[in-house]
Structure formats: C-alpha cells, structure tokens
C-alpha cells in the first residue's frame, strides 16, 4: 500500500476535528460554539474537501472568515504544569528534548532522498508525487511516538497540548492556507497581467538588472501586502518572472523560482499580515510591543533582499 498525501490530510483533519469537539464541550470558553464551528469547518476541508463541490468549500472558507472577522474565535482555559514541574522535567530530560524536534526534518530528508528505493513488489511505499510532504507526515508521527517515550506521556496529552497551542494561535493558524488560495485567486483574476502591463509600461525593463530588481522587490512587496510568499509567487512570476526574465532574457526558471520565493520570505519578515510568524510569537511571549518581532527582523530582511537581487542577476543567466 502506498502512503499518499490523502492520509496526511486525514491525520490533520482528525486532529482538527478532535479540537472542534473539545472546544464545543469546553464550558470555560466564552465562545465555544462559534470557535468549535470554526475548527469543525476547517477539519472538513481536510477530511472530505476532495469530495465536496468547490462552491461548498468556498462557502465554508467565507463562513470561517466571517466567524474570525467578527471575533468568534476564542480559546478556553488550559491547566498547565507549574514552573517547578517544568523545571524538574527539563532537568530530567536535558538535551534529549531536542531529539523529537530534530527527528522531523531528519525523517523528512531520509524519506525524500530514499523514496525511489522504498517499494514492495514494485509498489512505492511513499506517494511519488508528494514524497516530501508524506515524509514530513511520517516524521511528525514518529516524533510524537518519540516524545511519548521520552516524557512518559500519552498521545492524549499530546492532543491536549496541540489544542492549547491551537487556541493560542487562534484564527492565525489558517492564514497560510487562506493566503495561498488568495494568490491563486489573484492569478486567475489577471492580477499578474496587470502587473506585467504596469511594469513594462512605466519601468524600463530593457535593462536586465532592472527587471531582476523589479521581480525580487515585487515578490517582497506583494508578500508584505498578502502576508504569504506563496500568494505573491503566482502574481509576480506570471507578471514579470516568466514573460520577462525567462521569456525575454532566457534565464534559468529553477533559479528564478528558488530566489524568488526567498525574496518573498524577506517580505514575510516585514509584515503583520504574516500574523502566525510575527504577531502570534509576540503575543505568546507577552511582549509589550506587538510589532517587536518585525522590528528585530527588519535589518536581516533588507540585507537579504539586497543580496537576492545580485544573486538572481549573477546565477540566473549563467
């Protein structure tokens, strides 16, 4: 039997469904009904999204946006170990705590690199089309098992901790997926063509360095606006990357895509729209300035963005 990406979706959907049920029954949550509905709708996307008409999935996404927009997502009260218990556990486990976290990328890498050799009777064990994501899912499951063995806890405790973190993140947890869909909507709506028209009309794209700078900086700017590099990628690549850098200057599309996404991530460091990266950590750390994370990242983002312009210019046209 081949492990397909669908099994990973089922796993994520099951975790979200349990979160929804726990939220519905949590009387300490002042908005348990609306919050439970939010997580329940999100669970359905992973559990049966491929079997639902696209219109229904879109209606569910709009309903989730309305629930979050009107402040309907809230967290309950969670019983956490005391400081003394945390300290005792940390002292007992020591550096072993890093093992489960490191196991995830290690298993993902091993699965990705060895997938073509993993087969039984000619049937691949991992989905050849989604090897990395399936390997990531396997790595997470093995990491959970390792955590339970090290801490002498049960998977149920892992589920409780998962819900606690989900409540802490709130609606920001769904932002990457929502913003990724927004990028496809923008692409289908012709935003990429509009970007191509504006850049070629008002900017001198006859200079290759200028075209490279427009693509790199544009990726960062669109990411700042939309909060996600995946949302910016189809817009800038369809508007400048493919027609100009590849079509006119015959650059390497693989290099363009890699450095383009890295440029988008520079924008991620600079925007509150990437709430799960920049705003949520500030809230979890109880920082007085909610933009403190962004302020700390500005020098790194600008330096890396400048470097990306020159990297793309010298590597794409070799």
Please state the separation of Cα 316 from the chain's center in Å.
27
Based on the fold, state whether residues 65 and 89 are members of the same structural domain: no
What's the predicted TM-score (pTM) here?
Answer: 0.72
Lowest pLDDT segment from 18-22, 105-109, 228-232, 314-318: 228-232
Among the candidates 13, 39, 69, a domain finishes at 69
Among the candidates 108, 134, 153, a domain finishes at 153
Q: Is residue 19, in this structure, part of any structural domain at all? A: yes
> What total number of domains does the chain contain?
3
| Cβ atoms 13, 44 nearer than 8 A | yes
Based on the fold, state whether residues 147 and 31 are members of the same structural domain: no
Lowest pLDDT segment from 68-72, 151-155, 275-279: 275-279
Classify residue 216 by burial, with Cβ atoms within 10 Å: 0-12, 13-18, 19+: buried
C-alpha–C-alpha distance, residues 211 and 241, integer Å: 9
Give the model confidence (pLDDT) of 76-90 as tens digits.
Answer: 887 777 778 777 877
**Eight-class DSSP state of 119:** E
Two tokens at 226?
């939309």
H/E element, 124: strand 123-124
Q: Is residue 20, in this structure, part of any structural domain at all? A: yes
C-alpha–C-alpha distance, residues 252 and 270, integer Å: 28
Based on the fold, state whether residues 115 and 39 are members of the same structural domain: no
| Cβ atoms 171, 38 nearer than 8 A | yes
Higher pLDDT, 90 or 48: 48
Based on the fold, state whether residues 217 and 304 are members of the same structural domain: yes
Based on the fold, state whether residues 147 and 228 are members of the same structural domain: no
Based on the fold, state whether residues 112 and 221 are members of the same structural domain: no
Could you give the count of Cα atoms lying within 13 Å of 312 in the half-sphere of its Cβ?
33
Based on the fold, state whether residues 268 and 292 are members of the same structural domain: yes
Q: In 3-state terms, the chain is what percent helix, strand and coil (to 5)?
A: 80, 0, 20
Among the candidates 69, 93, 113, a domain finishes at 69
Based on the fold, state whether residues 57 and 93 are members of the same structural domain: no
Based on the fold, state whether residues 59 and 120 are members of the same structural domain: no
Higher pLDDT, 30 or 282: 30
Q: Is residue 109, in this structure, part of any structural domain at all? A: yes
Range of the domain at 43: 5-69
Q: What is the pLDDT of residue 129?
A: 82
Report the b/e string of 22-59 with b at 16+ CB within 10 A: bbeebeebebbebbbbbbbbbbbbbbeeeeeeeeebee
Give the model confidence (pLDDT) of 137-182 as tens digits.
Answer: 889 999 999 998 988 888 888 888 888 888 877 887 787 777 767 7
C-alpha–C-alpha distance, residues 281 and 121, integer Å: 47
Q: Is residue 182, in this structure, part of any structural domain at all? A: no
Q: Is residue 162, in this structure, part of any structural domain at all? A: no
Position 59 confidence tier, pLDDT thresholds 50, 70, 90: very high
Q: Is residue 165, in this structure, part of any structural domain at all? A: no
Based on the fold, state whether residues 112 and 212 are members of the same structural domain: no
Residue 18 has pLDDT above 90, yes or no: yes
Q: Is residue 89, in this structure, part of any structural domain at all? A: yes
Based on the fold, state whether residues 276 and 228 are members of the same structural domain: yes
* Chain mean pLDDT for the chain: 86
Q: What is the pLDDT of residue 1?
A: 67
Q: Is residue 179, in this structure, part of any structural domain at all? A: no
C-alpha–C-alpha distance, residues 43 and 143, integer Å: 22
Based on the fold, state whether residues 195 and 283 are members of the same structural domain: yes
Q: pLDDT > 70: what percent of the chain? A: 97
Lowest pLDDT segment from 63-72, 221-230, 291-300: 221-230
Residue 219 has pLDDT above 80, yes or no: yes
């Amino acid at each position: 039997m081949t492990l397909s990406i669908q099994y990973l979706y089922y796993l994520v959907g099951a975790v979200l469904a349990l979160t929804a049920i726990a939220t519905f029954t949590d009387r300490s949550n002042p908005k348990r009904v609306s919050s439970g509905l939010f997580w329940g709708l999100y669970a359905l996307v992973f559990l049966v999204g491929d079997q639902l008409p696209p219109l229904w999935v879109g209606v569910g996404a709009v309903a989730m946006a309305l629930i979050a927009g009107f402040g309907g997502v809230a967290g309950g009260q969670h019983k956490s170990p005391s400081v003394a218990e945390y300290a005792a556990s940390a002292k007992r486990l020591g550096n072993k705590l890093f093992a489960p976290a490191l196991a995830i990328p290690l298993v993902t890498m091993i699965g990705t690199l060895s997938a073509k050799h993993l087969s039984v009777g000619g049937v691949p064990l991992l989905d050849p089309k989604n090897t990395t994501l399936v390997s990531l899912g396997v790595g997470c499951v093995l990491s959970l098992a390792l955590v339970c063995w090290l801490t002498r806890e049960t998977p149920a405790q892992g589920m409780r901790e998962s819900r606690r973190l989900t409540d802490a993140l709130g609606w920001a947890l769904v932002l990457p997926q929502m913003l990724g869909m927004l990028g496809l909507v923008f692409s289908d709506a012709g935003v990429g063509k509009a970007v191509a028209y504006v850049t070629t009309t008002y900017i001198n794209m006859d200079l290759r360095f200028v075209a490279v700078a427009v693509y790199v900086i544009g990726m960062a700017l669109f990411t700042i606006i939309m909060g996600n590099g995946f949302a910016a990628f189809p817009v800038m690549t369809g508007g400048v990357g493919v027609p100009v850098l590849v079509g006119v200057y015959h650059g390497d599309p693989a290099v363009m895509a890699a450095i383009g996404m890295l440029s988008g991530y520079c924008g991620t460091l600079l925007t509150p729209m990437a709430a799960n990266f920049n705003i949520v950590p500030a809230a979890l750390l109880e920082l007085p300035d909610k933009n403190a994370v962004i302020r700390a990242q500005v020098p790194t983002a600008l330096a890396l963005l400048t470097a990306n312009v020159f990297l793309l210019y010298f590597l794409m046209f070799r």
